[in-house]
Amino acid sequence: MALTPLMSSTAVVLMAFAAAAAVALHPAVAAVSYDRKALVINGRRRILISGSIHYPRSVPEMWPDLIQKAKDGGLDVIQTYVFWNGHEPVPGQYYFEGRYDLVQFIKLVHRAGLYVHLRIGPYICAEWNFGGFPVWLKYIPGIRFRTDNEPFKAAMANFTAKIVNMMKSEGLFEWQGGPIILSQIENEFGPLEWDQGEPAKAYASWAANMAVGLNTGVPWVMCKEEDAPDPVIDTCNGFYCDYYTPSKPYKPMMWTEAWTAWYTGFGIPVPHRPVEDLAFSVAKFIQKGGSFVNYYMYHGGTNFGRTAGGPFIATSYDYDAPIDEYGLLRQPKWGHLRGLHKAIKLCEPALISSDPVVISLGNSQQASVFRSSSGYCAAFLANYDSESSARVTFNGVHYHLPPWSISILPDCKTTVFNTARVGVQTSQMTMERVGGFSWQSFNEEITSSNDESFTTVGLLEQINVTRDNTDYLWYTTYVDIGQDERFLQNGQSPVLTVMSAGHSLHVFINRQLIGTVYGSIEDPKLTYTGNVNLWVGSNTISILSVSVGLPNVGEHFETWNAGVLGPVMLNGLNEGRRDLTWQKWTYQVGLKGETLGLHSLSGSSLLEWGEVPQEQPLMWYKAFFNAPDGDEPLALDMSNMGKGQAWINGQGIGRYWPGYKAYGDCSDCDYRGTYNETKCQTNCGEPSQRWYHVPRSWLNPTGNLLVVFEEWGSDPTGISMVKRTIGSVCANVFEMQPSMRNWHTKENENSKVHLLCDFGKKITKITFASFGTPRGVCGNFSEGSCHAHKSYDPFEKKCIGQQRCSISVVPEVFGGDPCPGTMKRLAVEAICG
């Protein structure tokens, strides 16, 4: 279909780039601008579907496949943040290699034919360590982050310019023939501005001007920043954004973060968002006139090494995204959204050239109709009722709308998609054990001292001392006990109290572990209190304070403390209470094993490793292994372990903490009704994260080194390598509407079940089939009160022994209607072998 671009008279064309115009071939057309309806690329308004994929959260070997899967899923744009602390670990020393090869990532997106939305930030939040800021930034004299502060603004301007110039010199902006159509400065600043007033306003306006002054030739956005100064576009982030109106009538309605679920934290349940609701929220946004939607995340990936923010952000950043942490399609999420994107694209000519007219179809039902003067018509029929389905009449035709759903009619007649009718199969993933390890151990020293240890009076803030080069800081002091202490006779041991700003600590008395405490994602502070056995003479109190990711969000989070700030008290002595806070304390940064580089092949080979002892705290373990065959993604099953870190061939797998069980509400999940991050959770009472992704590309065929540092003292023989594979496939679809049955429409496709096994596998067994009112989810279906007795028959006949099969969801196929008048669905589960 040929499109007639309608440039509105209020179009703001960002052509303020003299240099750009000189380089571009057709500067008048080859530009990205915007108007009140949409981004305008090369003179044409576009409805754009985007997805976040963060390059350092996977490995370069995964990038082409992730990008291709995003393209196949119907995306036009890949959105990524830029990770300052990964790129400038030391002031003025830049790193753009490996997982941080930003240019290579953008070039791969370009090669796949997709656009890029580059969110430079450089504050990015992102559940990333320190919100993306390098820790050294905190120690620039006089600095205050994200406010009208000269040292901060100078550093921010420097890094932003560095990235923009790099993109220009690589020819990556759209006017240069590259893929970047959009940038972002700052990130979710609105809430801070609200709290801080004038200095924040001045800073926001400075940031916008600084960015615009870099002449990128593409628009800038500021998300969650309603005051975004012209020409920067203010955009919405959230679970729903249909309520959002840009601050100026000539700016388009854009959704920079459509949350596909939420992050995982240690100690909290794992969030999931039903695809029916996600699709509903996107359709609702488009029907209101929105023209840009970005899924945050489309592939979440992994917080490798110590990159997780926090504190207490988990290593997995899966986000229940359409492409899972391992790079596999998450079905039915990926497939159902793909159907949504196709339907939206069919509506694009009408969407970009008209404004919606809303018609009421019932109490909670309405139609949004886009009818252009050139004859295009697209309609969205919505049922906002969160309980019941509805039958509506639109243009004289009856339509059946499931609860909390939107049907899309690209020609104002034919339903090609309904957000609640998921016709795509579900793949039930399993973690299949492929082997264990044979371990050796090395005992970490308790209170060792090295060249860098030092002694001073009083307690020091942890990050001030470690500069976050390690999670670990030892605090050591001594307590003299006289022979006349009464507790030596009466057996009432003194009580030690240690107060810490976070995030976790282990207390040792005379080298014996006496306790472990840790904070939570809501409150990182913690207090240790316990009885201690002290002997006559000098006793050593050693506290290993452990950080678990630096904060990534919150007002002036750069000033938040970690570590043992006290008081530290000893109660129950003859003198009553002895305050140890202002004694001399000896500090040692990091573990001995870290100094020795035990995580690496070279470091670990320098010393003798021993047998694995019975559950001892602070132990290093190492094992060699060969790469499992096949190409399925791999993970470590750490479910038996407590807390620590793991490395493979020197690369950081991340922090593991299965010992921290998730506490929360995991009751049933219904797609209907307003979603929030606590609604559809799993893992209550279990580890928040059990499996840890091992990228295949980090392995050699043989002789791989796995090193684990375990703080709590769990037995490593329980660790195993697992492969992620498809266990069973399921489908769960509504029956076809009677009124639609005689039509040859795409809805017929929507009302068929398709089962498909991986290449080389066949359907070996139907483990469940019910046409009626089945309940439950893939892996745990059960029959409802209505069930057709011949539910299994068509599957047994047409599917067993096949790689794929399709069955129409109409009563005749299952031996007749088991409960006339009730809206039925079909649930089926099959095993591929």
Ligand X SMILES: *[C@@H]1O[C@H](CO)[C@@H](O)[C@H](O)[C@H]1NC(C)=O
For ligand X, the binding residues (CB under 6 A) are 92, 154-155, 158, 460-461, 464, 561, 676, 678-679, 775-776, 780, 782
Provide the token pair at 455: 């002694």
Provide the token pair at 759: 């290449």
Beta bridge partners of 687: 661
Q: How far is the CB of 132 from ligand X (least distance, A)?
A: 15
C-beta closer to ligand X: residue 245 or 780: 780
Residue 798 exposed, middle or buried by CB count within 10 Å (0-12, 13-18, 19+): middle
C-beta closer to ligand X: residue 450 or 676: 676
What Cα–Cα distance (Å) separates residue 571 from each residue in 475, 507, 575, 578, 579? 19, 16, 9, 6, 9
Per the CB < 8 A criterion, the answer to whether 57 and 66 are in contact is no
What Cα–Cα distance (Å) separates residue 209 from each residue in 164, 183, 403, 830? 14, 14, 46, 58
Give dist(CA 119, CA 110) in Å, integer: 16
Which residue from 732, 672, 726 is spatially nearest to 424, judged by alpha carbons? 732
3-state secondary structure of 370: strand
Q: How far is the CB of 673 from ligand X (least distance, A)?
A: 6
H-state helical runs in 266-353: 275-287, 333-353
C-beta closer to ligand X: residue 114 or 730: 730
Using the Cα atoms of residue 667, residue 673, residue 678 and residue 680 in order, give the sign of their dihedral. positive
Q: How far is the CB of 682 from ligand X (least distance, A)?
A: 9
C-beta closer to ligand X: residue 529 or 782: 782
Give dist(CA 539, CA 59) in Å, integer: 48
Task: Quickly list DSSP for 455-487.
Answer: EEES---HHHHHTTS-SEEEEEEEEEE-TT-TH
Q: Is 558 a known active-site residue?
A: no
Q: How far is the CB of 785 from ligand X (least distance, A)?
A: 13
**Number of neighbouring beta carbons within 10 Å of residue 212:** 19
C-beta closer to ligand X: residue 89 or 362: 89
Q: How far is the CB of 466 from ligand X (least distance, A)?
A: 11
Q: How far is the CB of 92 from ligand X (least distance, A)?
A: 5
C-beta closer to ligand X: residue 274 or 818: 274
Provide the token pair at 462: 């942890």
Which residue from 312, 315, 316 is spatially nearest to 324, judged by alpha carbons? 316
Give dist(CA 715, CA 713) in Å, integer: 7
C-beta closer to ligand X: residue 15 or 786: 786
Identity of the amino acid at 18: A
Per the CB < 8 A criterion, the answer to whether 731 and 768 are in contact is no
C-beta closer to ligand X: residue 227 or 677: 677
- Residue with the two structure tokens 């070039």: 107
Catalytic one of 193, 257, 711, 735: 257
Using the Cα atoms of residue 451, residue 457, residue 461 and residue 464 in order, give the sign of their dihedral. negative
Residue 721 backbone zone (phi > 0: left; psi -120 to 50: alpha; other: beta)? beta
Which residue from 615, 784, 812, 630 is spatially nearest to 721, judged by alpha carbons? 630
Residue 161 backbone zone (phi > 0: left; psi -120 to 50: alpha; other: beta)? alpha
Per the CB < 8 A criterion, the answer to whether 810 and 778 are in contact is no
Residue 618 backbone zone (phi > 0: left; psi -120 to 50: alpha; other: beta)? left
Q: Is 188 a known active-site residue?
A: yes
Provide the token pair at 279: 């699709």
Q: Which residues contact 216 (CB under 8 A, 6 or more apart)?
A: 17, 164, 167, 168, 173, 180, 183
Q: Which helix (H) or strand (E) holds 407?
A: strand 405-409
C-beta closer to ligand X: residue 378 or 662: 662
Q: How far is the CB of 332 from ligand X (least distance, A)?
A: 18
Give dist(CA 739, CA 741) in Å, integer: 6
Give dist(CA 208, CA 160) in Å, integer: 12
Q: How far is the CB of 555 from ligand X (least distance, A)?
A: 17
C-beta closer to ligand X: residue 209 or 374: 209
Q: Which residues contact 811 (CB under 8 A, 6 or more apart)?
A: 735, 771, 788, 817, 818, 824
Q: How far is the CB of 220 from ligand X (least distance, A)?
A: 21
- Rounded to the nearest 10 degrees, the angle between the axes of helix 150-169 and helix 198-212 is 20
C-beta closer to ligand X: residue 522 or 629: 522
Which residue from 316, 268, 312, 305 is spatially nearest to 546, judged by alpha carbons? 312
Catalytic one of 188, 461, 485, 677: 188
Q: How far is the CB of 732 from ligand X (least distance, A)?
A: 13
Q: How far is the CB of 462 from ligand X (least distance, A)?
A: 9
E strands, 27-135, in order: 32-34, 39-41, 44-46, 48-53, 77-81, 115-121
Q: How far is the CB of 369 from ligand X (least distance, A)?
A: 32
Which residue from 314, 367, 400 is spatially nearest to 655, judged by alpha carbons? 314
Q: How far is the CB of 469 from ligand X (least distance, A)?
A: 15
Active site positions, annotated: 188, 257
